[in-house]
């Protein structure tokens, strides 16, 4: 029989069974049964695990978010624990102090959870929907590209450069996402492109 068991799953099983099997090997059968009857579930056993990437820096460590609450049943999922992902090749379960404090970041009262827009000449920000934000960005980018794309240089060589719009990408992305972002930005001719790894 094949058993598909991750390293974390193996450790969880091994920890729960260690005390009982040790007693059993010493001949304390009844004691083993009593231990097994009183083994409590781990606090994280009933949570939902969501894999993600730490938002802070370009190392992009793998994390696991543990939340309670069934979203499919209309409940609000509440984050109760964050830890490093032992199966992630970048950090193999480790986190630096910033990553280890991610739960505080997620639950911070000052964390922005919606896009904000400041109209030209205004001194205040207003909350907008994601659709509205994407529409504004697309409109501004298209208008700027139509007006300012440099198709040829002084020697008449095709260059297709857009130097009046810049793009700043996040570091908390996978290689695949970073590759796709690069392709999209360069396909529009944008020259000023950087990501958070250099911030």
Distance in Å, CB of 100 to ligand SF4, minimum: 7
Q: Decide: is 44 part of the binding site for ligand SF4 (CB under 6 A).
A: no
Nearest CB to ligand SF4, comparing residues 101 and 137: 101
With CB under 6 A as the contact rule, the residue among 31, 80, 96, 150 that binds ligand SF4 is 96
With CB under 6 A as the contact rule, the residue among 59, 79, 86, 141 that binds ligand SF4 is 59
> How is 76-99 classified by DSSP, letter by letter?
PPEEEEEEE-TT-TTTTT---HHH
> How is 100-121 classified by DSSP, letter by letter?
HTHHHHHH-TT---S-EE--TT
Q: Is 67 exposed, middle or buried (0-12, 13-18, 19+ CB in 10 A)?
A: middle
- Restricting to residues 73-92, which ones interact with ligand SF4 according to CB under 6 A? 91
Q: Decide: is 62 part of the binding site for ligand SF4 (CB under 6 A).
A: no
Distance in Å, CB of 191 to ligand SF4, minimum: 28
With CB under 6 A as the contact rule, the residue among 57, 86, 149, 159 that binds ligand SF4 is 57
Neighbours of 102 (CB within 10 A): 20
Strand partners, 195: 169
Neighbours of 162 (CB within 10 A): 19
Q: Decide: is 35 part of the binding site for ligand SF4 (CB under 6 A).
A: no
Which residues are near ligand SF4 by CB under 6 A? Answer: 54, 56-57, 59-61, 91, 95-96, 98-99
């Amino acid at each position: 029989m094949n058993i598909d068991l991750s390293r974390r799953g193996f450790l969880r099983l091994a920890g729960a069974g260690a005390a009982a099997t040790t007693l059993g090997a010493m001949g304390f059968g009844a004691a083993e049964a009593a231990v097994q009857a009183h083994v409590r579930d781990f606090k994280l056993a009933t949570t939902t695990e969501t894999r993600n990437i730490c938002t802070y820096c370009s190392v992009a460590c793998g994390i696991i978010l543990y939340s309670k609450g069934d979203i499919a049943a209309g409940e609000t999922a509440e984050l109760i624990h964050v830890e490093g992902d032992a199966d992630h090749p970048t950090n193999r379960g480790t986190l630096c102090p910033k990553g280890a404090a991610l739960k505080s970041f997620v639950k911070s009262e000052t964390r922005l959870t919606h896009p904000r827009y400041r109209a030209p000449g205004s001194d205040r920000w207003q909350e907008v929907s994601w659709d509205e934000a994407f529409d504004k960005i697309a409109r501004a980018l298209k208008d700027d590209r139509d007006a300012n794309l440099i198709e040829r240089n002084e020697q008449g060589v095709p260059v297709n450069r857009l130097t009046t719009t810049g793009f700043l990408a996040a570091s908390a992305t996978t290689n695949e996402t970073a590759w796709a972002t690069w392709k999209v930005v360069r396909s529009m001719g944008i020259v000023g492109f950087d990501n958070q790894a250099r911030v």
